[in-house]
Chain A
Amino acid sequence: MNKELEHKFISEFQENQNIIHKVCRIYTNNQEAHNDLFQEITIQLWKAYPKFRGDSKLSTWMYRIGLNTAITLYRKSKRTIQTQDFDTVLHKIKSTDYDNTEEEQLKLMYKAIHQLSDIEKALVFLYLEDKNYKEISETIGISEVNARVKMNRIKTRLRTILNP
């Protein structure tokens, strides 16, 4: 692949790299796994770049490849430390009765999200990115109605995890 294309890709990617960091934030729970997934998504983006026509927004294109890599293509490398048991961590924090500061709440939120399935995480990610249900349904490949229903179920599930 030619140098010019490579240069264009790296510059564009550099500007938008936060999208990929965010995908990794949802799908991984430690720095090593984060870096590993980030690397695989970047490689996939680069491989797909020559076919990127610009008829969709670069960010939309990155969302798709990012999520598809996280859900389908990515295989955890051997180096990756296995997910720790979130339940015990969660209970420990709960039992010490923290003040319900916003930061604590956010930490618990992320822990709760990490307990969701890969597909549920994708919906949460797109929801957090302020995508409408049409775009969510198109990205994942389910109907808009089903996306709504699933999103409501996820919200209920998160509530149950957070307030057992």
Chain B
Amino acid sequence: MDELDILKKDWKKQDANFPKLSYDEIYKIIHKKSSSIVKWIFIICIAEFLFWGFINLLIPESFFTIYEKLHLKAFLKITYIFHYAVVVVFIYLFYKNYSSICVVDSTSLLMKKIIKTRKTVNYYVYYNIIMTIILSIIVNIIMFSDPALLNEVMNPKHVPIDETKFFYIVLTVHIVGLLIMSGLLWLYYKLVYGILLRKLNKNYKELETLNI
């Protein structure tokens, strides 16, 4: 007889040892708030949608005058329309995946759905980052290809400055800015995944190796 079978004998006897919760006690419990991972993922995802949605509002007005000077206003408008269409698609996909999460599914399927929901939002964030990078590359190419324009945009007060030096300063600021942004994003994802999804990912990996 193996060890588990010894335990099995006892397993059925233990019922009497468990506390019996009264009607009122159960009533109190079901009126408490859940702290499940799905709820947290939902809150974080909504926060990310809002963050990337509102980040546009934080861009200073002067930024748009740069576009104007570069004759990119129409381009900007089209980008905006495209961007908000993409956002709507992402929100729809997120909602669809989120509402498919069902706690009665098999463990493996439940995990898959949670990961899929989370991934939708990840793709949304990737999309935002890639869009930001592409847009800044386009703007930079146009700006740097015309030194007079660069000077006009970045140095509107025409402070006398060495042009080569100025070029390198602008470039360095761009690169440092990009590095700081990626650093912050990396830290954020490290924290979110570290705290929230470590257990889920570990268990999901274990199930996947089982199914190979």
Chain A residues engaging chain B, CB cutoff 8 angstroms: 6, 9-11, 13-14, 17-18, 21-22, 25, 39-40, 42-44, 46-48, 51-52, 61, 64-65, 67-69, 71-75, 77, 102, 105-106, 109-110, 112, 117-119, 122, 124, 127-130, 138-143, 146, 150, 155, 158-159, 162
* Contact segment of B16-24, B53-61, B82-90, B133-141: B16-24
8 A-B contact pairs sorted by A residue (CB < 8 Å):
A43-B34, A52-B104, A73-B37, A73-B38, A105-B3, A112-B3, A117-B203, A118-B203
B162 adjacent to chain A (CB < 8 Å) = no
Using A119-B203, A141-B207 as known contacts, say yes or no to A77 and B35 having CB atoms under 8 A apart: yes
Query: CB within 8 A of B203: which of A69, A72, A139, A155?
Result: A72
Please measure, in the bound complex, the distance between the C-alpha atom of A22 and the C-alpha atom of B12, giving whole angstroms: 10
Q: Dominant SS at the A interface?
A: helix
Closest residue of chain A to B106 (Cβ to Cβ) is: A141
Asked if B108 and A141 make an inter-chain contact with CB atoms under 8 angstroms apart, the answer reads yes
Minimum distance in angstroms from A156 CB to a CB of chain B: 9
Chain B residues engaging chain A, CB cutoff 8 angstroms: 2-4, 6-8, 10-11, 14-15, 18-23, 26-27, 29-30, 32-38, 40, 102-111, 114, 196, 199-200, 203, 206-207, 210-211
Q: Which residues of A contact B35 (CB under 8 A)?
A: 40, 75, 77
